[in-house]
Amino acid sequence: MQIRPAAHADLPGILEIYNDAVLTTTATYDYEPRTLEHRTQWFEERQRDNYPVFVAVGDAGRVVGWSALNPFHARIGYRFTSENSVYVAADMRGRGIGKLLLAPLIEGAKARGLHAIIAAIDAENEVSIRLHAAFGFEKVGHFKQTGFKFNRWLDLVYMEKLV
């Protein structure tokens, strides 16, 4: 398994993983799959603003996971805080890929001069909560019924790591 900074050529694989999560999980509260054009714009914004994006690439060259730092809020006072994303292909979950993808994000946050990383996680996603806790993220908020997907209300947990 190779972990490396993402490139434009990785965007179809990143998009496939994200769109599967949109359609089958509550890891994102998006309802509609995204387009390659949207994902390209997202990636170029991350590059322009120096937010790292990493991919996990399997033996056959397939993107099997990705992670990114994202702006937390647009207001200037939040410029030292980032929100993270970690997604793994459905058939590759449970193999430690999330751990491999989260570690370089923390180093990337330090290198960028960030002070805090926020993880917004569906409260039922115990795997993601445990993953973030293993890297020193602490639960700082639990918002009840703030999301709605698959015909049900969803709670959202905020976890934070100071870097």
**Model pLDDT, residue 117:** 98
Question: Is the Cβ–Cβ distance between 163 and 109 less than 8 Å?
Answer: yes
Model pLDDT for residues 21-56, shown as the tens digit of each residue: 999 999 999 999 999 999 999 999 999 999 999 999
The mean predicted confidence, pLDDT, of the chain is 97
Binned at pLDDT 50, 70 and 90, residue 143 comes out as very high
Question: Is the Cβ–Cβ distance between 150 and 26 less than 8 Å?
Answer: yes
**Model pLDDT, residue 51:** 97
**Model pLDDT, residue 59:** 85
CA atoms within 13 A on the CB side of 87: 22
Instruction: Compute the C-alpha angle 91/33/27, nearest 5°.
Output: 55
pTM of the full structure: 0.95
Among 158, 61, 59, 149, residue whose Cα is nearest residue 117: 158
At residue 110, does pLDDT exceed 90?
yes
Query: 21 φ, ψ to 5°?
Result: -65, -40
Angstrom distance (rounded) from CA 133 to CA 138: 6
| Domain range 2-118, CATH class | alpha beta
Model pLDDT for residues 51-71, shown as the tens digit of each residue: 999 999 998 999 999 999 999
**Model pLDDT, residue 114:** 97
